[in-house]
Structure 1
Amino acid sequence: MRLVFAGTPEPAVPSLRRLIESERHEVVGVVTRPDAVAGRGRKVTRSPIGRLADEHGIPVFTPRKPSEPEFVEQLTALDPDCCPVVAYGALLPEQVLSLPRHGWINLHFSLLPAWRGAAPVQAALLAGDEYTGASTFRIEKGLDTGPVFGTMTEKIATGDTAGILLERLAEAGAALLESTLDGVEDGTVQAVPQSPDGVSYAPKIDPEAGRIRWDEPALAIGRRIRAVTPAPGAWTELDGKRLKLAPVELVEESLPTGTLELRKTGVYVGTATTAVRLTEIQPPGKRMMPALDWARGARLEPGTVFA
Structure 2
Amino acid sequence: MRIVFMGTPDFAVGSLQALCESGKHEILAVVTQPDRPKGRGNKLLQTPVKEYALAQGLTVYQPQKVKTPEFVELLHELQPELIVVAAFGQFLSKEILELPKYGCINVHASLLPKYRGAAPIQYAIIKGEKESGVTIMQMDIGMDTGAMLDKVVVPIEENTTMGELHYALREQGAALLLQVIDKIAAGTAVAEPQDNEQATYATLLDRSMEHIDWSKTAQEVHNLIRGFNPAPSTFTKLPNGKGLKIWGSKMTDKNSAAAAGTVIETGKHSFFVACGEGVLEITEVQPESKKRMPAQVFLNGRGVQEGDLLA
TM class, shorter-length? over 0.9
Match of 2:268 in 1: 264
2:180 alignment partner AA: T
Structure 2, unmatched stretches of 5+, are none
CA distance in structure 2 between the partners assigned to 1:32 and 1:146 by the alignment: 21
- Could you tell me which of 277, 280, 287 is aligned with 1:283? 287
2:73 equivalent in structure 1: 73
Rounded to whole Å, the distance in 2 between the matches of 1:300 and 1:288 is 16
- Aligned partners of 1:139 and 1:146 also within 8 Å: yes
Distance 1:283 1:302, change over 3 A: same
* Deviations, residues 236-269 of structure 1 (Å, cap 9, x unaligned): 1123322211120122223421012433352111
Output the TM-score relative to the length of structure 2: 0.94
Pairs within 5 Å for 1:1-307:
1-238=1-238, 239-255=240-256, 256=258, 257-260=260-263, 261-298=265-302, 300=304, 302-307=306-311
Partner letter of residue 31 of structure 1?
V
1:11-38 deviation line (CA, Å, top 9, x unaligned): 1111101101223211110010101123
Q: Aligned equivalents of 1:245 and 1:77: distance in 2?
A: 51
Output the TM-score relative to the length of structure 1: 0.95
Q: Deviations over 1:201-221 (max 9, x none)?
A: 111223322221001110111
Give aligned-pair identity as a percent. Answer: 38
Unaligned runs of 5+ in 1: none
Cα gap change, 1:27/1:296 in structure 2, threshold over 3 Å: closer, same or farther? same
SS at match of 2:307: coil
Query: 1:69 and 1:13 mapped to 2: Cα distance?
Result: 27
CA 182–217 in structure 1, closer or farther in 2 if over 3 Å, else same: same
CA-CA distance at 1:141 after TM superposition? 1.0
What is the CA-CA distance between 1:115 and the residue it aligns to? 1.1
Helix, strand or coil for the counterpart of 1:279?
A: strand
Q: CA RMSD in A?
A: 1.6
Hey, what's the Cα distance between the residues in 2 that align with 1:123 and 1:213?
17
Mapped to 1, the partners of 2:303 and 2:131 lie a distance apart of: 42
Which 10-residue stretch deviates more, 161-170 or 254-263?
Answer: 254-263
**How many residues align structurally?**
307
The alpha-carbon distance between structure 1 residues 16 and 265, as it changes in their structure 2 partners (threshold 3 A), is closer
